């Protein structure tokens, strides 16, 4: 090229670019907002709980020793106490409570899946006008307080409650069933309370499913149930997984439902934690129970979910 | 496919010695659609359709969207039940059979490939449902993928393929069970133009090779004309005409077919008299008298009909001499109002003093930058009586 570009000093533009990078952009702020939320309301409380779990119980205000001890030097000395974690391993009560919680949560999740899948499928296949109404019915219970709804189950399940009255009146049973204050009542309560969390993600995946895929399967010789097993079920796995996690994670730590509906044999870690905190006033052990719950259950689940998410993203 | 016997398309019956099956009164149709009607509420999507399709045909159902062609195809597949009538395949009544029990496979417009399965698993799906032995499945899937040139892609997932490749997977999946009848719903609609033309011929070659009877639904008349042995033109749930592409284009049975397929100049006309095999007509829309070969149609003097001629069958040449507006039968003098250059041909719209412009297509035989006929040029249009059509009102 014969024409030369006029000699413009390159430096001002370079400096401006540097300066501009310091000013937050709208995009940066939008991305920062959820992270700020997580740091403030998840990470900070988590660190506080972690700190308490590394201290010892004292009769004082607050009721635990400080992690940092100010001595002669400029910096405080860190005096972590790991005895609480050792204690958790020694006393079988905790391990039984963890396992029992996981068992109750798993069976409840399975119950939600068995009841929720047909419901989600029916809603996804309903006429578009009916769909909105059916979805509204699914979320309608949220308009009433969670606590009230669990209390209502006491009225239904107790010995002279609605269920027993109905069964006795129809002559199906002649002795009232002792459901309330048993594990059965806890299962009923958890499945009832968390069913919408299973239905909604399942509905979202089933509704997106191209009905032509099912037609293609039957056209290729698959009977309807075979088409369901080989096409619908694998393609709704992301929804099954999302719904199961939404039910399983809160169910493991559930406190209100076992406290109100459960009986003496009901042992759940949420209840153990509550006892440590309020009855024993042993904050360090209560904090340790919470930390172990997160590490043992939630961390692997989150990792698993992220990996599944990546797999499903690659598929569609 | 090694099993398929090599088959060549029968030569057209030019000398009249070899009959196409549909010309042979003794030939037994492979697919019979008898008086099939499908109603949705009070609306008849398919209305009393009778069709006979012969073995190894590539039969096209052609029509605008909403004409009922897809509903008819879905009834052949078993996804819809006819409200009336019955469907027979190879002598067997299929009307009551559910889709999974029919020896019929379909290639969907969206292809409907299973996104969670590889190409090979997609193709193997139908064979697995039939409980074919694993080794046999492998052999047939490999052979089928070879046929559609996707052998190297067997382990890919559908989302890793291009549109043309997905189309071929869908075809392979539908063909691998060797159905008696293969249904194709707008098989080429999702491909771009260049690929579509190439795939058209591939599809014909594959059909020749496997010898399966194809029924293709399409709204694209070019696609129907190139692909099919015969086609049915549909409108509002009814079959307007069935025939070879040539017959439908050159001898449309009614004004709907004439107008729907290709371009045509059509006018209202009245029969003046019959002169041998030629009908002499007059029309209020044009100044000249018309002569058209009537092809044995039953015409009376004074009958109201439609006269038509296709744009490429009219010759146009420049004429600056001036003279009568209608110098002779089938001859008109006019002025060019529009010129459309298409590369291989040019379209002229000529004002001949009537209500509408006459469309004329001329092939561009020579390479030239100058237009032989340009805007506002005076031209003389002429056509032979054999080029013109007389259609019942």
Complex ipTM value: 0.84
Q: What would the CATH number be for the domain defined by A88-315?
A: 1.10.3720.10
Q: Are residues B60 and B144 in the same domain?
A: yes
pLDDT beyond 80 at B385: yes
Closest partner residue to B112 (CB to CB) among A216, A226, A234 is: A216
Range with top average pLDDT, A303-307, B192-196, B247-251: B247-251
A316 CB near a chain B CB, below 8 Å? yes
Among A1-5, B42-46, B203-207, the minimum mean pLDDT is found in A1-5
Q: Which pLDDT does position B5 carry in this prediction?
A: 42
- Please check whether residue B15 lies inside any domain of the structure: no
Q: Is the pLDDT of residue A23 over 80?
A: no
Is B140 contained in some domain?
yes
pLDDT digits (tens, 9 = 90+) for A241-252: 889 989 998 899
Q: B108 vs A221: CB contact, 8 Å cut-off? A: no
Residue B3 included in any domain: no
Cβ-based contacts of A230 with chain B (< 8 Å): 125
| Same domain, yes or no: B228 and B270 | no
**Residue contact B112–A213, C-beta within 8 A:** yes
CATH number of the domain within which B360 lies = 2.40.50.100
Per-residue pLDDT at B371 = 82
Same domain, B248 and B281: no
Judged against a pLDDT cut of 50, whether residue B140 lies above it is answered with yes
B186 vs A23, B45, B65, B183, CA distance in Å?
54, 18, 11, 10
Structure token pair of residue B86: 């019955």
Specify the number of domains making up chain B.
2
Find the farthest-apart pair of alpha carbons in chain B and give their distance in angstroms, rounded: 81
Give yes or no for a contact between B307 and B266, defined as CB atoms under 8 angstroms apart. yes
Report the pLDDT averaged over residues A282-292: 92
Question: Does residue B72 share a domain with residue B198?
Answer: yes
Give the range among A76-80, B5-9, B356-360 with minimum mean pLDDT: B5-9
What is the 3-state composition of chain B as percent helix, strand, coil, each rounded to the nearest 5? 25, 30, 40
Q: What is the pLDDT of residues A115-155, one digit of tens each?
A: 999 999 999 999 999 999 999 999 999 999 999 999 999 99
Are B237 and B369 found together in one domain? no
Half-sphere exposure in the Cβ direction for A4 (13 Å, CA): 3
Whether the pLDDT of residue B15 is over 70: the answer is: no
Three-state SS at B85: strand
Q: What angle do CA A314, A312, A32 make, to 5 degrees?
A: 85
pLDDT tens per residue across span A208-250: 999 999 999 999 999 999 999 999 999 998 899 889 989 998 8
Best A216, A222, A225 member to test B by mutation, with max B CBs in 10 Å, is: A216
Q: Same domain, yes or no, for B153 and B302?
A: no
Lowest mean pLDDT segment, chosen from A76-85, B224-233, B257-266, B378-387: A76-85
Q: By CA distance, what is B101's nearest residue in A? A: A221
Q: What is the rounded CA–CA span in Å between residue B246 and residue B218?
A: 17
Indicate which of A214, A220, A311 best probes the interface with B, i.e. most B CBs within 10 Å of its own CB. A220
- Quick one: pLDDT at residue A105? 94
A315–chain B Cβ distance below 8 A for any pair: yes
pLDDT at site B63: 94
Residue A282 has pLDDT above 50, yes or no: yes
Q: Residue A229: how many CB atoms within 10 A of its CB?
A: 13
Q: Domain coordinates of chain A in residue numbers?
A: 88-315
B202 and B57 within one domain: yes
DSSP secondary structure of A192-208: HHHHHHHHHHHHHHHHH
Query: Does B2 map to a domain?
Result: no
For chain A, report the end-to-end CA distance as a whole number of angstroms: 49
* Structure confidence by residue, pLDDT tens digits, B83-129: 999 999 999 999 999 999 999 999 999 999 999 999 999 999 999 99
Shared domain check, B152 and B36: yes
Q: What is the pLDDT of residues A36-73, one digit of tens each?
A: 999 999 899 999 999 999 998 888 888 888 888 777 77
Candidates B100, B114, B177; nearest CB to A213? B114
> Which of the two residues, B18 and B226, has the higher pLDDT score?
B226
Are B221 and B275 part of one and the same domain?
A: no
Note whether B164 and B195 are within 8 A (CB): yes
Size of interface A-B (CB pairs under 8 A): 61
- How far are the Cα atoms of A68, A173, B319 from residue A65, in angstroms, in the given order? 9, 57, 112
Q: How far is B60 from chain A (nearest CA, A)?
A: 20
pLDDT mean over B172-195 = 90
For B25, which DSSP code? T
Mean pLDDT of B260-284: 91
- Residue B89, min C-alpha distance to chain A (Å): 16
Examine the pLDDT at B134 and tell me if it is beyond 60. Answer: yes
- pLDDT of B6: 42
The pLDDT mean for chain B works out to 89
**DSSP, residue by residue, B160-183:** GS-HHHHHHHHHHHHHTT--SEEE
CATH number, residue B27: 3.40.50.300
Query: B278 and B222, same structural domain?
Result: no
In this structure, the answer to whether residues B318 and B239 fall within a common structural domain is no
Give residue B139's pLDDT band: very low, low, confident or very high (50, 70, 90): very high
Same domain, B73 and B108: yes
Out of B10-24, B273-287, B313-327, the most confident range is B273-287
Measured between alpha carbons, how far is B271 from B290 in angstroms, rounded to an integer?
A: 9
A135, A203 Cβ separation under 8 angstroms: yes
Per the model's pLDDT, the better-predicted residue between A9 and A55 turns out to be A55
**Residue B286 lies in domain:** 265-392
In a domain, B14, yes or no: no
């Amino acid at each position: 090229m014969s024409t030369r570009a006029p000699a413009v000093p390159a430096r001002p533009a370079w400096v401006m670019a540097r300066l501009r990078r310091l000013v937050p952009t709208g995009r940066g702020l939008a991305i920062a907002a959820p992270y700020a939320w997580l740091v403030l309301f998840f990470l900070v409380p988590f660190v506080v709980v972690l700190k308490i779990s590394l201290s010892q119980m004292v009769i004082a205000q607050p009721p635990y020793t400080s992690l940092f001890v100010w001595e002669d030097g400029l910096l405080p000395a860190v005096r972590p106490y790991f005895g609480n974690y050792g204690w958790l391993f020694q006393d079988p009560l905790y391990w039984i409570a963890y396992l029992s919680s996981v068992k109750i949560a798993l069976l409840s999740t399975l119950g939600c899946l068995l009841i929720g899948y047909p419901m989600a499928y029916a809603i996804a296949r309903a006429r578009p006008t009916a769909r909105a109404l059916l979805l509204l019915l699914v979320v309608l219970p949220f308009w009433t307080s969670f606590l009230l709804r669990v209390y209502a189950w006491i009225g239904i399940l107790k010995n002279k409650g609605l269920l027993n009255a109905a069964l006795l009146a129809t002559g199906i049973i002649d002795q009232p069933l002792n459901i309330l204050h048993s594990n059965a009542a806890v299962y009923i309560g958890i499945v009832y309370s968390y069913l919408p969390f299973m239905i909604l993600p399942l509905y979202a995946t089933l509704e997106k499913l191209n009905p032509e895929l099912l037609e293609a399967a039957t056209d290729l010789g698959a009977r309807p149930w075979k088409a369901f097993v080989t096409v619908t079920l694998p393609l709704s796995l992301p929804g099954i997984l999302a719904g199961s996690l939404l039910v399983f994670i809160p169910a493991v730590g559930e406190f209100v439902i076992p406290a109100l509906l459960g009986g003496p044999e009901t042992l759940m870690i949420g209840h153990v934690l509550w006892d440590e905190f309020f009855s024993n006033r042993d904050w360090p052990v209560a904090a340790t129970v919470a930390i172990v719950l997160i590490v043992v259950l939630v961390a692997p689940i989150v990792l698993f979910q992220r990996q599944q998410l990546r797999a499903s993203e690659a598929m569609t | 496919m090694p099993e398929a016997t090599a088959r060549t398309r029968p030569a057209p019956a030019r000398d009249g010695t070899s009959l196409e099956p549909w010309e042979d009164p003794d030939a037994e149709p492979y697919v019979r659609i008898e008086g099939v009607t499908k109603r949705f509420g009070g609306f008849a999507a398919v209305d009393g359709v009778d069709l006979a399709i012969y073995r190894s045909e590539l039969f096209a159902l052609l029509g605008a969207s909403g004409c009922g062609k897809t509903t008819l195809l879905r009834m052949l597949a078993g996804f819809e039940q006819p409200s009336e009538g019955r469907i027979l395949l190879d002598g067997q009544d299929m009307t009551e059979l559910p889709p999974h029990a029919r020896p019929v496979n379909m290639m969907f417009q969206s292809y409907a490939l299973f996104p969670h399965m590889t190409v090979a698993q997609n193709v193997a799906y139908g064979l697995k449902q039939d409980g074919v032995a694993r080794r046999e499945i492998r052999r047939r899937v490999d052979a089928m993928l070879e046929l559609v040139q996707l052998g190297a892609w067997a382990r890919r997932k559908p989302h890793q393929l291009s549109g043309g490749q997905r189309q071929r997977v869908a075809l392979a999946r539908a063909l691998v069970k060797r159905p008696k009848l293969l249904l194709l719903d707008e098989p080429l609609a999702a491909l771009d133009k260049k690929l579509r033309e190439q795939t058209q011929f591939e599809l014909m070659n594959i059909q020749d090779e496997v010898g399966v009877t194809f029924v293709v639904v399409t709204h694209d008349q070019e696609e129907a004309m190139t692909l099919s042995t015969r086609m049915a033109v549909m409108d509002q749930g009814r079959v307007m005409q069935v025939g070879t592409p040539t017959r439908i284009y050159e001898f449309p049975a009614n004004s709907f077919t004439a107008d729907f397929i290709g371009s045509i100049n059509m006018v209202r006309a009245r029969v003046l008299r019959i002169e041998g095999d030629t009908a002499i007509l007059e029309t209020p829309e044009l100044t000249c008298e018309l002569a058209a070969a009537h092809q044995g149609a039953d015409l009376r003097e004074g009958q109201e009909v439609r006269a038509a001629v296709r744009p490429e069958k009219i010759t146009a040449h420049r004429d600056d001499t001036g003279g009568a507006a209608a110098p002779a039968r089938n001859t008109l003098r006019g002025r060019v109002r529009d010129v459309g250059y298409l590369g291989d041909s040019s379209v002229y719209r000529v004002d001949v003093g009537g209500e509408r412009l006459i469309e004329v297509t001329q092939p561009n035989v020579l390479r030239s930058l100058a237009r032989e006929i340009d805007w506002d040029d005076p031209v003389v249009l002429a056509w032979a009586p054999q080029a013109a059509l007389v259609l019942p009102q």
